[in-house]
Amino acid sequence: MADLGAKLKRFADGHGGFPASGWLSSPTDIAGRVLREYLTRSASLSVDKAVARQVIQDYCVDLSEPTITVRSIFQVDGFTAAYPFSLSDEIEVRPISQEDIKEQARGALVPFPYARPWLNSRDWICEVNKRGPRDTFEAVNWDSEGTRYIATTLALTSPGAAHLTLLRSQHASPFLAVGWKSGGEPTFTGRGGAPLHLAGQGIRVAQKLYPKVVSVLAGTGPQPLRLALGRLIAAAQRRETEDRLVDYVIGLESLLAPDTDRLETTIRFRLRGAALLPPHFGKHRERIDLMNKLYDVRSRAVHGGADKDTVVSYVAKAEDALRHVLRWFMDDSRWKNQPKAIVKELDQRMVQGGSKWAYPIS
């Protein structure tokens, strides 16, 4: 084994560190990683030349790759789905396995304030294999922003109080074993209420929404939607009910009154919102009353005069309204249009309908 180790060190000395890797690796470190990978694969102290040759070959292939892959595992608590699914070719959502529990199990001694949570057979796992350029930290740092993308997609798809917690994130390559990270505060999709469940239709909606959410939040999609999406997920992280309601209503305002000065906001907010809310919010009069009440409660909350029970009774309705209005704006038929142009057309349609009511054709 000492001879094999010496040969591997000589090989590493001849190849140097990972070029343009974003960090320096000494030849001795690389030799140690190659040797460790050999021992892991061979599971024996005897020399297996075929295994050693394959490890060296894999190292050379890894060295020539322009990209790296970082594997991140998230616990998804308060969540169920009809079946495992993928949000992209890099993101898989599935029930936890016994292998996951063994690999990610929490130790008895926890030295960190945000330790990995306890795991059980009811949990779900979100596994991300993020690829990125070798000479940047794009893939390494993706987990914090990526968690926001995933949680926003789930919040936009369905109500429910799920949350994602990073269990482990590290390089997939055994030759880039430069450590790992875990923990941090969980990212919520909602607060209170039942767990978030996705039936088959919900899974298909989430798969369709995910690339749109990423494009908006990453700055490449329609930016007028960014504030509303940001408020939807920001509200889920807040502990105070009043703060959540304010976030939801501000998100609605950004979609329903982007072309309106302060004096006209209320009337356009309630009429446009009532027109876009689906039938389960009630009849036309009930929807207008709801939008009017949401705006009123939001104004009172901002100025410290909102009744706590009233806020509690309307916060879920505000969340649901923002979710449905956002989904309406993100429909394929309107996806690339500007909200100002969309609400202008909406006003024209409402006037057209009112004219038909006022002047019916006999």
Residues 279 and 323 in one domain: yes
Q: Is residue 345 part of a domain?
A: yes
Could you tell me the residue range of the domain that residue 291 belongs to?
222-358
Q: In angstroms, what CA-CA distances link 121 with 101, 102, 160, 161?
A: 8, 11, 20, 19
Least confident of 74-78, 117-121, 184-188, 328-332: 117-121
pLDDT, position 178:
63
Residues 99 and 164 in one domain: yes
Residues 152 and 256 in one domain: no
Residues 80 and 21 in one domain: no
Residues 136 and 192 in one domain: yes
Residues 46 and 75 in one domain: no
Question: Residues 95-116: what's their mean pLDDT?
Answer: 64
Q: How far apart are CA 69 and CA 192, in angstroms?
A: 35
Exposure pattern of 19-58 as b/e (b: 16+ CB <10 Å)? eeebeebebeebbbbbbebbeeebeeeeeeeebbeebbeb
Q: How many CA atoms lie within 13 A of 109 on its CB side?
A: 1
- Identify the bridge partners of residue 190 per DSSP, sorted by sequence position: none
How many domains is the chain partitioned into structurally? Answer: 3
Which amino acid makes up residue 264?
A: E
Residues 183 and 104 in one domain: yes
Helix, strand, or coil (residue 172): coil
Q: What is the pTM of this model?
A: 0.84
Determine whether 72 is exposed, middle or buried from the number of CB atoms within 10 Å of its CB (0-12, 13-18, 19+).
buried
Residues 24 and 151 in one domain: no
Residues 120 and 11 in one domain: no
Q: Is residue 174 part of a domain?
A: yes
Predicted confidence (pLDDT) at residue 63 exceeds the cutoff of 80 = no
Top-confidence residue, 261 or 182: 182
Q: Given phi > 0 = left and psi -120 to 50 = alpha, else beta, which region is 282?
A: left
Residues 81 and 41 in one domain: no
Residues 55 and 16 in one domain: yes
Helix, strand, or coil (residue 329): helix
Predicted confidence (pLDDT) at residue 4 exceeds the cutoff of 80 = no
